[in-house]
């Protein structure tokens, strides 16, 4: 289901693999996508690595917290609409895509937000998986839909609304 590659030493301070599996399972179950048949890769890297990826794929040569590369384009055509559901491959598996998270940016954001790194990382994993599934936050109505889903999923995991100020 979820393959986790930890490249940056900073991530060793939290049980990232356990958090990632919990977040992925909760997200997929919430959207009625078979957990065991779904494949996602998560690379836990540092700011230097994600800066290179962000420059290469988004032409933004700065670190960011999380990046996602969906295997398929599922985005809805109209703002505020749910994306198309993923379709399994011929063997019944759902190849959803890849996510990268940067330790330094995530740790800094968690501190600035007054949250634990574990909670913030969990939120970003849910956020990244929703991107793999076609959700986005560029258009206002899409952002409302995506954030509502994040709040629901995180609530099921016992975490507070990350958007409440």
Q: How far is CA 24 from the centre of its chain?
A: 8
Tell me whether residue 131 is annotated as binding.
Answer: yes
Distances (CA, A) of 103 to 14, 56, 88, 138, 143: 11, 19, 32, 24, 25
Contact status, residue 122 vs residue 16, Cβ threshold 8 Å: no
Tell me whether residue 127 is annotated as binding.
Answer: yes
CA-based nearest residue to 94, from 146, 35, 149: 35
Tell me whether residue 137 is annotated as binding.
Answer: yes
For the annotated binding site, the residues are 127, 131, 137
As annotated, the binding site for Zn(2+) includes 127, 131, 137
């Amino acid at each position: 289901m979820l393959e986790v590659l930890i490249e940056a030493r900073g991530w060793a301070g939290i049980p990232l693999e356990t958090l990632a599996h919990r977040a992925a399972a909760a997200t997929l179950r919430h959207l009625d996508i078979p957990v065991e048949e779904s494949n996602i890769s998560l690379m836990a890297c540092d700011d230097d690595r994600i800066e290179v990826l962000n420059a290469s794929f988004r032409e933004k040569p700065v670190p960011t917290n999380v990046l996602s590369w969906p295997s398929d384009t599922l985005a809805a055509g109209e703002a505020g609409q749910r994306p198309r559901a993923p379709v399994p491959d011929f063997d019944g598996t759902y190849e959803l895509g890849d996510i990268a998270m940067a330790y330094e940016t995530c740790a800094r954001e968690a501190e600035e937000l007054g949250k634990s790194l574990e909670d913030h990382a969990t939120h970003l994993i849910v956020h990244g998986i929703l991107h793999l599934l076609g959700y986005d936050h560029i258009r206002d109505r899409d952002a409302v839909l995506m954030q509502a889903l994040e709040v629901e999923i995180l609530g099921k995991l016992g975490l507070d609304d990350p958007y409440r100020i």
